[in-house]
Structure 1
Amino acid sequence: MKTLHCFTLSLLLLGQPVVAEDLLKPAPPAGTAQIDGGPATEMVSEPVMRATGTIEALDLQRGLVSIAHGPVPALKWPASTMDFQARREQLEGLSVGDAVQISFQSEGEQAAIVSIDKQ
């Protein structure tokens, strides 16, 4: 019986840090675009990356903007054209051909706009 009490006490003491660790995780903001079930602007990548480029296509319905951007040395990306996930309000007032500066986060081959500014 003494062994059972020691075992139970050990589980209680060792289980507490796991619960506390989960409480430290930030909750995603409500109402943001989603990529793979997570908010588009709260992806795993840190820090936020920056690039300049030209808008090649806009899809307001799907929340996508295609940008021909320069190299992104921090990610070892060459200059290319790719789609970025964005919220509809981020794309308002933008048109194909606009020169833009973007801040974004990436996860694998997916990227989400944090901010986009016409130059």
Structure 2
Amino acid sequence: MKIFHCVTLSLILVAPPALAQDLLKPEGPTGSPEINGGPATEMVSEPVIHATGTIEALDRERGVVTIVHGPIPALKWPAATMDFQARREQLEGLSTGDQVRISFQSEGDEAALVSIEKP
């Protein structure tokens, strides 16, 4: 009987911390972040970076715009040509060769547009 009480007491003392840790975990995937009221990519980063450039290519189906941009000192990036993830509606009214101002968020070598507009 003494062993039963020891085991029960041990379980009572060990179980609450384990349950408390589970309560801190998210219940499930939170989905894609939203930028300007719509889903963006899986990335979430701060701060929003601003740049100017020229549209080299548009892939409306995939939601990708290729932009030739100047140096971006905030990220220590040299001038480059790179793809930016965008929502289809952000690309409406834009075409290859357009000069644009962009705001984006970056994580690693991926970038998602927050906004894109002609000056």
Task: Give the TM-score range, shorter chain.
Answer: 0.7 to 0.9
Secondary structure of residue in 2 paired with 1:57: strand
Higher CA-based Rg: 2
Code of the residue aligned with 2:14 in structure 1: it is L
Secondary structure of residue in 2 paired with 1:78: coil
- Write the mapping of 1:12-91 to structure 2, written as runs, cut at 5 A: 12-23=15-26, 27-29=30-32, 32=39, 39-40=40-41, 42-91=42-91
Cα distance change of structure 1 residues 79 and 14 upon mapping to structure 2, 3 Å threshold: same
Secondary structure of residue in 1 paired with 2:16: helix
Does residue 1:4 correspond to 2:24, yes or no?
Answer: no
- CA distances 1:62-88 after superposition (whole Å, capped 9, x unpaired): 111000112222221111110111111
Percentage identity across paired residues of the two chains: 56
Cα distance change of structure 1 residues 19 and 57 upon mapping to structure 2, 3 Å threshold: same
**Structure 2: which 5+ runs fail to align?**
none
Cα distance change of structure 1 residues 65 and 8 upon mapping to structure 2, 3 Å threshold: same
Q: Tell me the distance in 2 between the aligned counterparts of 1:97 and 1:105.
A: 23
- CA distances 1:28-61 after superposition (whole Å, capped 9, x unpaired): 35873xxxxxx41x51322222211111111111
RMSD, aligned CA: 2.6
Q: Tell me the distance in 1 between the aligned counterparts of 2:62 and 2:68.
A: 19
Secondary structure of residue in 2 paired with 1:7: helix
Q: Tell me the distance in 1 between the aligned counterparts of 2:86 and 2:80.
A: 18
The worse-fitting range, judged by mean Cα deviation, of 12-21 and 101-110 is: 12-21
4+ residue stretches of structure 1 with deviation over 6 A?
Answer: none
